[in-house]
Amino acid sequence: MYRKRTSGSRKFNARMARARAAKEKIRLEGPSPDYPVKLPQVRRRVIVEDYDFGETVRHEFVLERSNRTDCYRVIVDGVTIPSRMGWAKTLEMVRKAFVRVAAAPFK
């Protein structure tokens, strides 16, 4: 059966409590943290132009500020996407916006 140690654990717990209190005191006496600046409304704009098929295909992805720092409100060619997205999902949309070109033999 498991037996709880008592002789060494009281000393250890008291030492850890003192260490936590000292760390908290240093944190409270130090300068307050710098809060992040307010982000601009338009955070990123991705413009992709495709010249593969004779006519130019152009898509514009505007990534605006949302209520989370790591997410965006995405507007594609003037149409707003209903849910917020991260950078990886936005790049996935950019990738899927253009059709794949079949490999042509080079001469």
pLDDT at position 2 is 72
Q: Using CB atoms within 10 A of its CB, is residue 72 exposed (0-12), middle (13-18) or buried (19+)?
A: buried
pLDDT (average), residues 32-52: 88
The rounded distance, in Å, linking the Cα atoms of 6 and 2 is: 13
What pLDDT sits at residue 64? 96
Mean pLDDT (whole number) for 38-67: 90
Contacts 24+ apart (CB under 8 A), 34-40: 36/69, 39/65, 39/69, 40/65
Six token digits for residue 57: 């295909």
Res 105: pLDDT:
57
Domain ranges in the chain are: 42-96
Residue type, 53: F
Q: Which residue has the higher pLDDT, 62 or 55?
A: 62
Closest CA to 66 of 39, 32, 97, 94: 39
